[in-house]
Amino acid sequence: MTLEQFEQDIEALRSGALAAFTAAQTAEELEAARIQFLGDRSGLLKTVQQALGAISKEYKPAAGRAFNAIKQVLTDAHEARGKALSRSASPAADLDLTMPARRQWRGGIHPVTVVIDEIVAIFRELGFTVALGPQAESEWYNFGALNFPANHPAMDAHDTLYLKGDVLLRTHTSPVQIRTLQTFPPPIRILAPGDVYRRDFFDASHAPMFAQIEGLCVDEGISFVDLKAMLSNFARRFFGAAKTRFRPSYFPFTEPSAEMDVECQICHGAGCSVCKGTGWTEILGSGMVHPSVFEAAGVDAEKYSGWAFGMGPGRIAMQRYGIPDIRMLYDADVRFLEQVAE
Ligand code: PHE
């Protein structure tokens, strides 16, 4: 073989290999081209190397240099194409790694929980501790001990979800009053937050499950003045300048009984759909603990008196955050929650 022929072979190898490397669009195609041109066993470079043996002695050094040069060129070209392909295959190539990350919402405290925590904190300063009770209750704790006469129509106002026999999902947190009175001697000052259940259908102001906070204060010489003072103080602390009012009411387990309204925080008294045009929202029921409740729980009703309340933190959250529909509190829609959760 002449040097000239050898150089022609090298030139054919160079243009063929470079074109094949450039044409490769994937790592697999590039590997196929590498095997074809640079492969150890039957690659074209190998064939050219073998041809080197057939060059006459005189031209061998020049042919050897030409072979080494082409080998280097092709190895470099293969490597460069491999790097280019892996850069464009990885999306990181198009990212600005110095760009600050988009802030992710990591969740927060649900508005009803925020309200419960604040109420508990305000009453804690007045000496109230937290007591809890079961959500599956007996009829006796939920109704009987709370002075609901058997089969009394007052229970109709609590559309109850029964589980089995006389066990039901508690319709209010008031059974915790009984459990506390049975367990601890007065003086008693407790708050009992928790979920309650009623056979209600969802609408803008009803849900079959909602949170309540029960309050109970029992000691010697407690009067309605204490109830009014404590609850008015709470309302000032919680709602600031908003007006509040007491309205006479009826509960079998308190006598006298009163409901407390706060001026609607959404329309500020003008009347809107949330307050049903009245300008007021009821936030709690309350009253002086009925002597029959003390008797049922084994507490001396001659010696002790007390007051109790049941508050709806869901309604209070709606007032505070201007939420027009109670269902929004239970939908778990992140678009809503990230606006109000703290
Ligand atoms: N348990 C009553 C209810 O759910 C509220 C209440 C509690 C009223 C304590 C008076 C005293 O409607």
Tokens of 91: 């999306």
In angstroms, the CA 162 to CA 239 distance is: 37
Please tell me the predicted confidence (pLDDT) of residue 155: 65
In short, whether 307's Cβ falls inside 6 Å of ligand 1 is: no
> Average pLDDT of 194-204?
89
Q: Quick check: CB of 306 below 6 Å from ligand 1?
A: no
C-alpha–C-alpha distance, residues 314 and 123, integer Å: 18
Q: Contact 221/208 with Cβ under 8 angstroms?
A: no
Q: How far is the CA of 294 from the centre of ligand 1 (A)?
A: 16
- The angle formed by the CA atoms of residues 265, 124 and 213, to the nearest 5 degrees, is 55
Q: Which residues make Cβ contacts (< 8 Å) with residue 71, sequence separation at least 6?
A: 45
Distance (Å) from CA 309 to ligand 1 centroid: 6
**CB of 287 sitting under 6 A from ligand 1:** yes
Query: For position 91, what pLDDT does the model report?
Result: 62
Burial bucket for residue 242 (CB in 10 Å: 0-12, 13-18, 19+): middle
Query: Which residue, judged by its Cα, is nearest atom 9 of ligand 1?
Result: 309
Closest atom of ligand 1 to CA, residue 212: 4
Average pLDDT of 12-17? 88
Q: What value does the mean pLDDT take over residues 98-113?
A: 84
Say how many Å lie between the CA of residue 137 and the centre of ligand 1.
Answer: 16
**pLDDT score, position 158:** 62
Q: Given ligand 1 and candidates 174, 178, 226, which is best to mutate, with the most ligand atoms within 8 Å of its CB?
A: 174
H or E element: which one contains 28? helix 27-38
**Does 270 score more than 70 pLDDT?**
yes
Per DSSP, 187 falls in state S
Tens of pLDDT, residues 21-50 = 888 888 888 888 888 988 888 888 888 888
Q: Which residue out of 147, 168, 173, 251 has the highest number of ligand 1 atoms within 8 Å of its CB and is therefore the one to mutate?
A: 251
Ligand 1 centre to CA of 134 (Å) is 17
72 in Cβ contact with 80 (< 8 Å): no
What span, in angstroms and rounded, lies between the C-alpha atoms of 281 and 177?
25
Report d(CA 254, CA 291) in Å as an integer: 8
pLDDT in tens, 286-295: 999 999 999 9
Q: Which residue has the higher pLDDT, 267 or 125?
A: 125
Give the pLDDT of residue 173. 97
For ligand 1, atom 10, the nearest C-alpha belongs to: 286
**172 Cβ inside 6 Å of ligand 1:** yes
154 contacts 252 by C-beta, under 8 angstroms: yes
200 phi and psi, to 5 degrees? Answer: -110, 150
Answer yes or no: is pLDDT of 150 > 80: no
CA of 64 to the centre of ligand 1 (A): 102
For 138, residues 6+ apart whose C-beta sits below 8 A from its C-beta are 166, 167, 168
Ligand 1 atom nearest to CA at 172: 4
d(Cα 62, Cα 253) in Å, to the nearest integer?
Answer: 113
Peptide bond into 175 cis (omega under 30): no
Element (H, E) at 260: strand 254-263
How many whole angstroms from 311 Cα to the centroid of ligand 1?
Answer: 7
Distance 100 CA to ligand 1 centre (A): 52
With a 6 Å cutoff on the Cβ, whether 309 touches ligand 1 is yes
Is the C-beta atom of 305 inside 6 A of ligand 1? no
In the reported structure, the alpha carbon of residue 215 is separated from the centroid of ligand 1 by a whole-number distance in angstroms of 9
Q: What is the DSSP letter of 331?
A: S
H-run or E-run covering 8: helix 3-23
Closest CA to 318 of 290, 283, 276: 283
SS3 for 163?
Answer: strand
DSSP state of 324: -
Cβ(13)–Cβ(70) under 8 Å? yes
Compute the distance from residue 44 Cα to the ligand 1 centre, in Å: 93
Does residue 160's CB lie within 6 angstroms of at least one atom of ligand 1? no
The protein residue with its alpha carbon nearest to ligand 1, atom 2, reads 310
Distance CA 295, CA 327 (A): 39
Structure tokens at 194: 């928790």
Q: Rounded to the nearest whole angstrom, what is the distance from the C-alpha of residue 229 to the centroid of ligand 1?
A: 18
| Confidence (pLDDT) at 289 | 98
Q: What is the pLDDT of residues 151-175, one digit of tens each?
A: 776 666 567 888 988 899 999 999 9
